[in-house]
Structures are given as C-alpha cells and as structure tokens.
Chains A and B, each alone.
Chain A
C-alpha cells in the first residue's frame, strides 16, 4: 500500500445449507467499505452457488460458525441460520 492509496474492506456473509464450505448458499449479506467505489457481488441470487465459488472469485474466509453441542431440550428446535461463513476482500483505493 503506497501513501497514495488507502485500504478498505468488503464483507460478505454467506449462510450455507450444510456445515461445509462447498454446501449450497441459502442466505447472504454484503457490506461495502469502499462506499460503492468497487464492484460488489455478482447480481444473481444467490451471488455464489457455494462458499468455494466465493473463494474462487477472490474472497478470503475470515470466520466460520462452530458446530456447537446441543443444549438439553433444544435438540429439535430451530433458531438462527446455522452455518455462517464470513468473507472479506481488501480493496486499495486512491486517496
């Protein structure tokens, strides 16, 4: 990064149908730290068919949800989307 550029982050949440990164994407959210100065995600639903497809497009995996043990009495209750993967892309912008 030179003194004439600044680094900004784009963040992509993908929720998968299963616990694996190559499972089908069933939910997504995009946040753009460039303020729209750079392209975001492909304009299709979903933007990537799997998490691996996002990797191929240059996204870096930041975090994936852990597989947590089930609490007693909660074994058959659904709650939030379970398999969350967070990606980032770092973008250099001219100052």
Chain B
C-alpha cells in the first residue's frame, strides 16, 4: 500500500490465468465494436455495483471476480465499489499514433479520496510495442489534463511491457498515455475505473501495520527507523526537484493519514512542524 501511495501504480504480473486471457479478445472485440451500436454488448451503467457488472457468461466478469483481483480492489476501494466506466483500448499492429501524456477526467478534488483504474493486458506486450506509458509518482499533482500534452519525455517514465494476464492498478491521477505499436501484433487492453463507496481506511490487510507504521518523529535529519514505511514514502523519483520531492512527501503523508486513519502520521516532520506552530497562533 505504501508503494501505491508513493508511485500511484501497482503491477501484478500474470495474475489472470491463461485460460481467461485466451478467451478475452473476442469479448473485448465485441465490446469495442458494439458499445456505441444500437444493439449488442454494452458496458454496465455508471454507478452499478461491481458485483452486478458483467454477469456470467462474461470473460470480463470472470476476470473481475477472480479472488486475487477482488482482493486488490477491496484493499484499495473497499468491498462494494461502483463501476465508473470501462473501455477497450485497442492499438493496431503497426499503429504510429502517439497519445499525449494526460490524466483522465477532470482536475480532481484536493481531498485524499481516490478511484482506481485497472489495466488488464490479456496478451503479451513486448517492449516498445504499444504498452501504456506512465510516470510513477505523478498521481498527486494538481494539473489540467491537456496541460501535460507538451511533455514528450520525462526522466523516470516507464512503458508497460508484460506477459499476458498482467494487471496494472493506477491511482486515478497518474499521468499516462497510449503509445505507438510498431510490432506485428495487435495490442488489447481493458481499462475499468472504480469508485469507492466507503472511506478507504484500513481496507487492506493491516495485520502488520502497527509494526511498520513509523512514529511521526521519524526524521531524515534526526533519527530514522529503516524498517518502517517511511522508507518507502521517502522514495525519490528522478524527475523531482528537492522542493517538489519534499512537497510530494507531504502529499503522500496526507494520503497515508487517510488510509491508515492516523491523523498524526508524518515523515520527516514536514507537516507536524507546521501544525504545531500554527496551533500556537490559534491558541
């Protein structure tokens, strides 16, 4: 979870069984072709409880109901999320289009709540052959979607390359973009966005949280306990300035406070220092 808070993305290699992957493309192709047609396969209505989405028989439904996938979903947005939307992202073999870097939807609210987006790659994706480009650690920035168009390259960005059945889970704010597919195979991907319906507090397996939750006194310039999650939240992405890095840590801490239900949590004293001082003025 600390890795998700830090990078805004989790990767689960080959988590979907081969049998499901091998049956995926015909259904994804139907959804792609029939979504906006008068008749045929339609996505669920926005707001549908996930449990009611893609009932049997459906390969997409089988994938979304896998215990491992439901465990991921439940850990991040709870046991009863609702369907926001999905889409079949298809990139033709040989396609040269480059999608600009963007965030989905609109500039989001400044609170710590978040949606997740699951990217399911049902076929192998070779390096450089249409895998989604994304920028780890970009998810907590406040930007307008189209404002990112001009960034052709950023140090530290990554491009998906994976085996069939791999699922990436994005925080809704992660910067990402579709890429050209110079390879000989079509690239298929199913993306679904899910909304939480309850506070996202301690929804994951927190049996070890007391052991790894650092004290708010953990400070890089004083004393540090390297066995705690502070070490993960201190991850430095190569495209950050020192100021941005410290700001980013403060944003990660805000998210971790929400997730762990610990309003005093801190890393490197940045928030505590300010909160303690402002309390003096308000007294």
Partner-B contacts on A (CB < 8 A): 13, 15, 17-18, 25-30, 45-46, 76-83
Are the CB atoms of A76 and B147 closer together than 8 Å? no
Between-chain CB contacts (< 8 Å), 12 pairs: A15-B151, A17-B239, A17-B240, A18-B241, A26-B239, A76-B251, A77-B142, A77-B247, A77-B251, A79-B141, A80-B141, A81-B239
Stretch at the interface among B9-17, B34-42, B152-160, B178-186: B152-160
Q: Flag whether B244 is at the interface (Cβ < 8 A).
A: yes
Partner of A30, one of B152, B154, B238: B152
B143 in contact (CB, < 8 A): yes
Residue of B nearest to A73 (CB): B110
Chain B interface mostly: loop
Q: Which of B140, B141, B147, B150 has the most CB of A within 10 A?
A: B150
Report how many A-B pairs have Cβ atoms within 8 Å: 60
- Which B residue's beta carbon lies closest to that of A84? B150
Interface footprint category on B: 20 to 34
Q: Complex: how many Å from CA A82 to CA B156?
A: 16
Minimum distance in angstroms from A27 CB to a CB of chain B? 4
Interface residues of B, Cβ cutoff 8 Å to A: 110, 140-143, 147-148, 150-156, 238-242, 244, 247-248, 250-251, 270
Whether A81 and B153, one on each chain, are in contact in the complex, defined by CB atoms closer than 8 angstroms, is no
Q: Select one of A15, A27, A46, A80 contacting B143, CB under 8 A.
A: A80
A86 to chain B, nearest CB (A): 10
Q: Is there an interface contact between A78 and B155, defined as CB atoms closer than 8 Å?
A: no
Question: Would A27 and B142 count as touching, CB distance under 8 A?
Answer: no
Q: Is the CB of B151 within 8 A of A81?
A: yes
